[in-house]
Amino acid sequence: MLTVIRSPGRTWLAAILSVPFVILGLDLLLLPKLFPQYVRRLDLLADEMGLNRITANGPEEPWGLFFLVAGAGLLLWALKDLLFPKELLAINEHGIAFSSLLGPAGGRMSVPHNEILDASPAVLVEGSDRSPAVAVRVADPSRLPSSPWGAVWVDDILVIRTDGWTAS
């Protein structure tokens, strides 16, 4: 059985990029309230650059909440995807199971081996952008979505983008 998952490189990058958002949200929201003597890093940076400080009753709370929620959400998504990766494509004794075609919240759809006429590597060219892909021709294209997520129909061939995939 062959399974294909999302490459963990981009997910690690998202997890790393979420940390400054969480720190900035904590810096704006919680730390000054928990520790009154705490000097915010944002205020230190403003003093260093000669800018005006954000006032105590200014708009820092909505921004702090936004940064904290966005950073925590991105971090939780990245950790979930790293610990429990979703199979994008699986080839087993029953056929090929596609999980990537219906989007992030979509289910899994299976195509039996006898309905797959051809599968081959391809290069998808969109304008000046070239990305690796897999071209799949099936006997009954109506079994697959007409507007697939991460793929395009070229005549009766489904061309699935594979950049960011890792086989396991």
Cα 73 from chain centroid (whole Å) = 12
Q: Quick one: DSSP state of residue 58?
A: S
- In the chain the beta strands, taken as DSSP E runs, fall at 2-6, 87-92, 95-98, 109-111, 116-126, 129-138, 151-154, 157-161, 165-167
- For the chain, helix (H) and strand (E) counts, in that order, are 4, 9
**Terminus-to-terminus CA distance in the chain, angstroms?**
9
- In a structure prediction context, what are the per-residue pLDDT tens digits for the chain, which is 168 residues long? 677 777 888 889 999 999 999 998 888 888 777 777 666 666 677 777 776 655 555 677 788 889 999 999 999 999 998 998 877 778 888 888 888 777 777 778 888 888 888 888 888 887 888 888 888 888 888 888 888 888 888 888 888 888 877 766
84's tokens: 């429990």
Q: Which residue in this structure is represented by tokens 């979420």?
A: 18
- Kindly report whether the global pTM for this prediction surpasses the value 0.85: no
Enclosing H/E stretch for 20: helix 8-29
d(CA 168, CA 1): 9
**CB contact at 8 A, 133 and 153:** no
36's tokens: 């009154």
- Output the pLDDT for position 42: 66
Write the burial class of residue 162 (CB in 10 Å: 0-12 exposed, 13-18 middle, 19+ buried): buried
- Output the pLDDT for position 55: 56
Q: How far is CA 105 from CA 14, 99, 100, 108, in A?
A: 19, 9, 9, 10
